[in-house]
RNA sequence: GUGGAUGUAGCUCAGCUGGUUAGAGCAUCAGAUUGUGGUUCUGAGGGUCGUGGGUUCGAGCCCCAUCUUCCACCCCA
């Protein structure tokens, strides 16, 4: 047996069952994205480090995987620099590339680079792995997939409404009950203004975001440690308390309208109203909750922010996103607003697994196995196989000539192949084929056309994962 | 990056205060059954006990280091 083989920390192999289930999720996402007019793009696994560094804050820079230059990467380093062992400076000399950390920043780079080749408003989706040198935990990996969908180059709130429709379509198809949580950074800005500290918006949002996790008192404690004065905190308490109790969206809007007086905040409320009304009118039936405690960590959001939570399982959010007004600005293209979201494929996988909601067809592979009795029979079967393939039925013949029947049947059984065709001397003489249904055990002698009809009617799910 | 646990067969786990040749269930393979799987019965293979050091007459068990996985922070999908 091989010794000492492993894969890097935080990475995974995917077995066929995993892959089929993952592809089921990915193709559901792709189909819905396509349905709403979004187009696929891909970007390279690596980007120039200059495109990545400084985009995710100080923490983010530490979590970037850097790629060592090829060739003699020390040739421009003098002994003095080597002796100093200043890691950051050395790294910047010997690494020019890094693995992508998310899909949003590469997308911004993509838009700026190809601005004359793409059609605005540009609606794209992108499903690719990203890498973070984080410490792995359950459900957290160093290599994981993000499924991003964004529209860039349009300020219209219709885009937000469309995202809500996409969420509804996807989770209906996946058969997961979800709640959409909405908020708006402008409203948070309004709250910060109400507390007379609009300059501390980021600290405030980071703390408020933890409300349902750590509770009101801890949030206040954290803010107090970050320099919030007690009169500010007193004013914040009713807001936190309101957010913790069940309320309708109308009540929430009323409550927040009484607090917010600044222009930006009012604009946020107006946007929230628009989105809630349009969502209702467009017939979205998924529960949408306006929650002032939703904040999201990322600092580039400027308007609507959203998260999707699974109702029947405790797992955190399975989708999140929001509007950003100037993402492409970091690459020198100002004034382009976008809105988008990211689906957590791994978490959706966990939800489906916990609730046992993967369709069982997902791990069916081939539909038909031809038993191999010997040289004459396998030649005979090959011709029939080609006919099945040409009608789109996936079929295979057991490759070992004349292998034991038991072995071939077990193969079909463990590969979950629903039909077995048995062609031996008798069948060749009669011109008919014996078709065995592996679920019922029933076996019939049929001709090829009958078999094709029967199998086709049995394939409910035509999509191949 | 900080703190804490964990590691025994492919998987889930037993293994006494350190004492012969480390066990079970499931899985795998073979046979019972040479044209019939999933059930049943019989049998077989598979472990340098995560890795490297140390203590000891003797280590799966004790000590140190290291890696893995997991948990809590930080941050995040």
What pLDDT digit, counting tens, does each position of A224-266 carry?
888 888 888 899 999 988 888 888 999 999 999 999 999 999 9
Q: Separation of CA A452 and C1' B68 in angstroms?
A: 51
Protein residue minimizing CA–C1' distance to B47: A1
Residue A389 and residue A243 in one domain? no
Asked, for residue A435, whether it belongs to a domain, the answer is yes
Asked, for residue A41, whether it belongs to a domain, the answer is yes
Q: Separation of CA A415 and C1' B26 in angstroms?
A: 19
Asked, for residue A46, whether it belongs to a domain, the answer is yes
Residue A272 and residue A418 in one domain? no
What is the nearest nucleotide to A373, using C1' and CA? B35
Protein residue minimizing CA–C1' distance to B2: A135
Q: What's this model's pTM, rounded to 2 decimal places? A: 0.90
> What CATH number should be reported for the domain holding residue A113?
3.30.930.10
Residue A445 and residue A319 in one domain? no
What is the nearest nucleotide to A377, using C1' and CA? B35
Residue A161 and residue A198 in one domain? yes
Whose tokens are 């984080």? That residue is: A134
Question: Which tokens go with A357?
Answer: 């909601």
Query: Which residues constitute the domain of residue A238?
Result: 16-51+101-354
| Cα A25 from Cα A315, distance rounded (Å) | 17
What is the nearest nucleotide to A318, using C1' and CA? B77
What is the nearest nucleotide to A442, using C1' and CA? B36
Backbone torsion region of residue A68, taken as left when φ is above 0, otherwise alpha when ψ lies between -120 and 50, otherwise beta: beta
Residue A301 and residue A418 in one domain? no
Residue A333 and residue A434 in one domain? no
Residue A310 and residue A450 in one domain? no
Residue A307 and residue A173 in one domain? yes
Residue A390 and residue A330 in one domain? no
| Cα A230 from Cα A3, distance rounded (Å) | 61
Question: CA dihedral defined by A400, A404, A410, A415, rounded to 10 degrees?
Answer: 10
Residue A217 and residue A161 in one domain? yes
Among the candidates A327, A354, A381, a domain finishes at A354
CB count within 10 Å of CB A430 equals 11
Residue ranges of chain A with per-residue pLDDT less than 70: 1-4, 83-87, 298, 460-465
Nearest to A195 by CA among A224, A235, A227, A226: A235
Residue A280 and residue A334 in one domain? yes
Among the candidates A291, A324, A354, a domain finishes at A354
- Exposed, middle or buried: residue A121 (CB in 10 Å: 0-12, 13-18, 19+)? middle
ipTM for the predicted complex comes to: 0.85
**Count of structural domains, chain A:** 2
Residue range A92-150, pLDDT digits in tens? 788 899 999 999 999 999 999 999 999 999 999 999 999 999 888 878 899 999 999 99
Among the candidates A354, A379, A409, a domain finishes at A354
């Amino acid at each position: 047996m091989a010794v000492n083989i492993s894969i890097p920390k935080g990475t995974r192999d995917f077995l066929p069952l995993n892959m089929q289930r993952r592809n089921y999720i990915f193709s559901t996402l792709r189909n819905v994205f396509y349905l709403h007019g979004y187009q696929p793009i891909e970007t390279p696994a690596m980007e120039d480090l200059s495109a990545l560094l400084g985009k995710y804050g100080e923490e983010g820079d530490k979590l970037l995987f850097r790629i060592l230059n090829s060739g003699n990467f020390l040739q421009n380093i003098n002994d003095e620099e080597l002796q100093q062992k200043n890691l950051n400076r050395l790294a910047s000399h010997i690494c020019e590339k890094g693995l992508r950390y998310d899909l949003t920043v590469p997308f911004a780079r993509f838009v700026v680079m190809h601005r004359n080749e793409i059609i605005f408003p540009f609606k794209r989706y992108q499903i690719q792995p990203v890498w973070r040198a984080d410490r792995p935990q359950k459900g957290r990996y160093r290599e994981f997939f993000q499924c991003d969908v964004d529209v860039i180059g349009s300020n219209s709130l219709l885009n937000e409404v469309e995202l809500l429709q996409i969420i509804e379509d996807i989770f209906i198809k996946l058969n997961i009950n979800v709640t959409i949580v909405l908020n708006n950074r402008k409203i948070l800005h309004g709250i910060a203004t109400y507390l007379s500290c609009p300059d501390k918006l980021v600290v405030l949002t980071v703390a408020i975001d933890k409300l349902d996790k750590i509770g009101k008192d801890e949030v206040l404690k954290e803010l107090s440690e970050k320099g919030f004065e007690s009169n500010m905190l007193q004013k914040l308490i009713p807001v936190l308390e309101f957010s913790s109790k069940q309320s309708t969206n109308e009540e929430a809007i009323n409550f927040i309208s009484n607090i917010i007086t600044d222009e930006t905040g009012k604009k946020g409320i107006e946007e929230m109203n628009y989105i809630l009304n349009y969502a209702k009118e467009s017939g979205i039936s998924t529960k949408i909750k306006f929650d002032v405690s939703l904040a999201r960590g990322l600092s580039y959001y400027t308007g609507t922010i959203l998260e999707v939570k699974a109702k029947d399982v405790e797992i955190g959010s399975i989708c999140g996103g929001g509007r950003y007004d100037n993402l492409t600005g970091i690459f020198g293209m100002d004034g382009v607003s976008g809105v988008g979201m990211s689906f957590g494929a791994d978490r959706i996988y966990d939800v489906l697994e916990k609730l046992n909601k993967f369709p069982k067809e997902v791990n069916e592979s081939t539909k038909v196995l031809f038993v191999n009795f010997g040289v004459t029979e396998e030649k005979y079967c090959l011709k029939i196989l080609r006919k099945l393939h040409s009608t789109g039925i996936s079929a295979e013949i057991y490759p070992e000539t004349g292998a034991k029947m038991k072995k071939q049947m077990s193969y079909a059984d463990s590969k979950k192949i629903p039909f077995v065709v048995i062609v031996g001397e008798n069948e060749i003489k009669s011109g008919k084929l014996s078709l065995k249904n592996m679920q019922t055990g029933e076996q019939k002698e049929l001709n090829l056309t009958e078999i094709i009809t029967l199998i086709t009617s049995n394939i409910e799910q035509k999509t191949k994962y």
